[in-house]
Structure 1
Amino acid sequence: MKDHYASLGLNSAATLADIKKAFRQKAAQFHPDRNPDPNAALYFREVQEAYDVLSDTDKRQAYDDNRRRGLLDSPIDTARDIWSTYFSRIL
């Protein structure tokens, strides 16, 4: 999964105003009509997706919860931790 905060050049403590400002800057930078780079459309879509998630309170909360659980970074390690904790409590 993608790191939406990194796509916008922000950290997880960013406010909605920070998110909007970063989106406007990145969207202008990567808009395919303004940027001749062949990958500009891909970057623009990533920025748009990041903004769609982070600007919506419910989507952002769900995304942040998943990040905290480590599901984005290392799902296998997270699953191992969950199961080892579970089994250590029942044995």
Structure 2
Amino acid sequence: YYEILGVGVDATGKEITKKYRRLCVKHHPDKNGGDRHHRTKFDEISKAYDTLSDPEKRKMYDQLG
């Protein structure tokens, strides 16, 4: 998930959110005519953010991968 968002494992919550927002704007399906590639990428970005922005989920992800 860190790679998807383009952040390091030591990234702060603020850095993760900043990168997430940038990527959402770039890959949002509404901005890209519903292109399937962007929809898939947007879903990956959202899932990565959901995990890394939640301290408990992030801790589990870091431990289990």
TM-score scaled by length of structure 2: 0.92
Aligned pairs, number? 64
Highest CA radius of gyration, 1 or 2? 1
**Between the two proteins, what is the percent identity of the paired residues?**
39
State the match for 1:19 in structure 2: 16
Q: CA RMSD in A?
A: 1.0
State the match for 1:54 in structure 2: 52
Give CA deviations for 1:14-69 in whole Å, capped at 9, x if unaligned: 000000000000011100011244310000000000000000000000000113xx
TM-score scaled by length of structure 1: 0.67
- The answer to which structure, 1 or 2, has the higher relative contact order (CA under 8 A, 6+ apart) is 2
- What are structure 1's unaligned runs of at least 5 residues? 68-91
- What are structure 2's unaligned runs of at least 5 residues? none
